[in-house]
Structure 1
């Protein structure tokens, strides 16, 4: 299992626009082939910072999503609100305790 973590920072005045776009597309992302889980988290000390965690069956599934029309539309309607360059990591899930 691969976990993709993306840190995004937004202009405060653009957060609602980002959230509207996210909520519009979250089920499409989650239902994309190979996506097992999608989370959106907000920093408790800086409400302009958000993290997405998406869990993928494999790197191939993630890359298929990243090369899709859906990703291009979502990303193009997200990056216009950034106030800093986003950061992203792909990590291997080793263990998870419920």
Structure 2
């Protein structure tokens, strides 16, 4: 399993539009084959910046999602709202403490 972290910055007047799109699609994304976990975070200091954390079975599962109609639709509505270039990282989870 690995983790995908995406940092996105939005135009202040477009945040509600982003949140509505995320709300509409979060269950579909989470239930996409291979997705094991999904969270959305908002930066405490820069409230126009958001992060998604998603856990995937393997890289192929993420690639299948990234090539899906679901992703293409979500991304098309999301990318026009940015105020900065998004960044993404794929990382291996090494430890979890609860």
Report the TM-score, using the length of structure 1 for normalisation: 0.99
Q: Distance in 2 between matches of 1:30 and 1:97?
A: 22
Question: Hey, what does 1:34 align to over in structure 2?
Answer: 34
Unaligned runs of 5+ in 2: none
Helix, strand or coil for the counterpart of 2:80?
Answer: helix
Partner of 2:76: 76
Structure 2 residue 86 is matched with structure 1 residue 86: yes
**TM superposition shift of 1:80:** 0.6
Following TM superposition, the consecutive aligned residue runs of length 4 or more in structure 1 with deviations greater than 6 angstroms are none
> Residues 1-98 of structure 1: matches in 2 within 5 Å?
1-98=1-98
Please state whether the residue corresponding to 1:3 is helix, strand or coil.
strand
2:95 and 2:60 map into 1 onto residues whose CA distance is 21
| Whole-Å separation in 1 of the counterparts to 2:62 and 2:97 | 24
Shift of 1:18: 0.2
Aligned length: 98
Displacement of 1:90 in angstroms is 0.3
| Cα distance, 1:67 vs structure 2 | 0.5
What CA RMSD, in Å, does the superposition of the two structures yield over aligned residues? 0.4
